[in-house]
Amino acid sequence: MKGPLVLSVASEVFPLAKTGGLADVAGALPPALAAEGVAVRTLLPGYPAVLKAAGAAQPVHTYDSLQGGRARILAARAAGLDLFVLEAPHLYDRPGNPYVGPDGKDWPDNAPRFAALAKAAADIGRGAVRAFVPDIVHAHDWQAGLAPAYLHYRGEPRPRTVMTVHNLSFQGQFPAELLAPLGLPPHAFSMEGVEYYGTIGFLKAGIALADRITTVSPRYAMEIRTPEFGMGLDGLLRSRAGVLSGILNGIDTEYWDPAKDPHLVQRFDARTLARRQANKAALQARFGLEPLADAPLFGVVSRLTWQKGMDVLLEAVDDLVALGGQLALVGSGEAALEGGLAAAAARHPGRVGILIGFDEGAAHLVQGGADAFLVPSRFEPCGLTQLCALRYGAIPVVARVGGLADTVIDANEMALVASAGNGLQFAPVTREALVLTLERAVGLWRDRDTWTRLQQHAMAADVGWRRPAGQYAALYRQLVAGAA
């Protein structure tokens, strides 16, 4: 059967533009869907790096004015993806982070910047590019949230729409006065539409008006229907529960492959785990840690934010060292957390090593060299770093929330007996619970046979995109068949 045509819309796509896991997903899902017979094109903003990578792109649609300036949709192929690049210099010709200016604040015109992306998606959805008229427009996160809204208000015929929530804490809320400038009709400003506590909510609009809603793990799909995790949208999500589902993320297992990874000093697989030792030594050297073979080395690769529980890690870092452990962390984010981590490193020279910044190579070396990998998130829609850790045999120690709970099997007694455990979970997200679990991890690590078995289970886990891509393909087919 010929698969549906899908337009995927995202504000970041690896390796062209990335601030987090959204980019990884937007970059890896289309090729995995191709294997399921689903053809995907990806629409993204024409940031300078994207236009450069797109090279000789073909203009396929022109706007005399899109949110205040001339714009074109360019068709291109780059990084193995079929792309539509929205070239709009007045909106996107800015260096650096896609959302934040050099002063560290969100760009003041983020509403028109991402409304334009959604508008272009809706136009392609309605046939603006003859050669590609999608059956489905699939919007990712708030930046694309208005795409289902524009399509909804323009009426039938229209493609079906899917809204994927990667993180409910970023909602894209903007002043109500922007309604007309964004090209939304007056009646859109209602509880059933884009209105959200007196503002325009881009993610709210997508959740309210898309035909189907997905999020990135089954557990997060449940959590977000509760006040604790719903970030104010739990009521709406409960009312739409019939069209809401959770599909776990995968990782690109070609790119994240310890047997081929160029960032490692020694490549390895589940049968050659002893080779990890050379990566541990390289990691210790890179992070200024003592070259101890008998100290369990904990790794972290993370945005430094409240979501990720980095303040809890800071509270537990003295205990981690007291347990004989070492910490290698690469991350960037909130200044207070960066400062706290720098202080911890200064307090524990040779034991705590940090690298502030976004460093792809260091992230791979942490995965390939750390004994265990910490993810103490307060909430985690899916999380990708624990999947990389499983693949690299760095035993994940994770908070029991969201996708972390869905992907890591706690090595409790029965799991060990059943040869099923591949990591450790803890709850609640407090210093006390984390420290108890660090103790448990150190105990297991000192029992070499058990630890090796955990590593083998971890590395055997199916963390690729094949299964999830099959689930997206099934959802698209149902939707196109009208069985939604």
314 binds, among ligand GLC, ligand ADP, none (CB under 5 to 8 A by kind): none
The phi and psi torsions of 31 (rounded to 5 degrees) equal -60, -35
Tell me which residues in 246-265 interact with ligand GLC (CB under 6 A): 249
- Longest alpha-carbon distance in the chain: 68
Is residue 355 a contact residue for ligand GLC (CB under 6 A)?
no
Tell me, rounded to whole angstroms, the distance of Cα 209 from its chain centroid: 23
Is residue 380 a contact residue for ligand GLC (CB under 6 A)?
yes
**Of 16-24, 181-189, 392-400, 476-484, which segment contacts ligand GLC by CB under 6 A?**
16-24
Query: Residues touching ligand GLC: how many (CB under 6 A)?
Result: 14
- ω into residue 428 within 30 of 0, thus cis? yes
Tell me which residues in 150-169 interact with ligand GLC (CB under 6 A): 166-167
Tell me which residues in 399-428 interact with ligand GLC (CB under 6 A): 403
Q: Can you name the residues that pair with 62 across neighbouring β-strands?
A: 72
Instruction: Please state the closest distance from residue 414 (CB atom) to ligand ADP, in A.
Output: 28
Instruction: Please state the closest distance from residue 308 (CB atom) to ligand ADP, in A.
Output: 7
- Position with the least CB separation from ligand GLC: 21
Residue 441 · residue 435 · CB < 8 Å: no
Between residues 29 and 194, which has the closer beta carbon with respect to ligand GLC? 29
From CA 108, how far away is CA 131, in angstroms rounded?
35
Residues that bind ligand ADP (CB under 6 A): 20-22, 24, 301-303, 330-332, 358-360, 363, 383-385
349, HSE (Cβ side, Cα atoms, 13 Å): 1
Instruction: Please state the closest distance from residue 1 (CB atom) to ligand ADP, in A.
Output: 32
Between residues 22 and 401, which has the closer beta carbon with respect to ligand ADP? 22
Between residues 63 and 170, which has the closer beta carbon with respect to ligand ADP? 170
216 binds, among ligand ADP, ligand GLC, none (CB under 5 to 8 A by kind): ligand GLC
- Residues 6+ away with beta carbon under 8 Å from 184: 146, 149, 150, 153, 194, 200
Instruction: Please state the closest distance from residue 303 (CB atom) to ligand ADP, in A.
Output: 5
- Residues 6+ away with beta carbon under 8 Å from 78: 16, 50, 53, 54, 55
Query: DSSP letters along 220-237, please?
Result: HHHHTTSHHHHTT-HHHH
Residue 430 CB-density burial (10 A; 0-12 exposed, 13-18 middle, 19+ buried) = middle
Tell me, rounded to whole angstroms, the distance of Cα 319 from its chain centroid: 30
363 binds, among ligand ADP, ligand GLC, none (CB under 5 to 8 A by kind): ligand ADP
Contact letters (x/-) for ligand GLC, 424-463, by CB under 6 A? ----------------------------------------
| CB atoms near residue 336 (< 10 Å) | 12
Residues that bind ligand GLC (CB under 6 A): 20-22, 25, 166-167, 216, 249, 380-384, 403
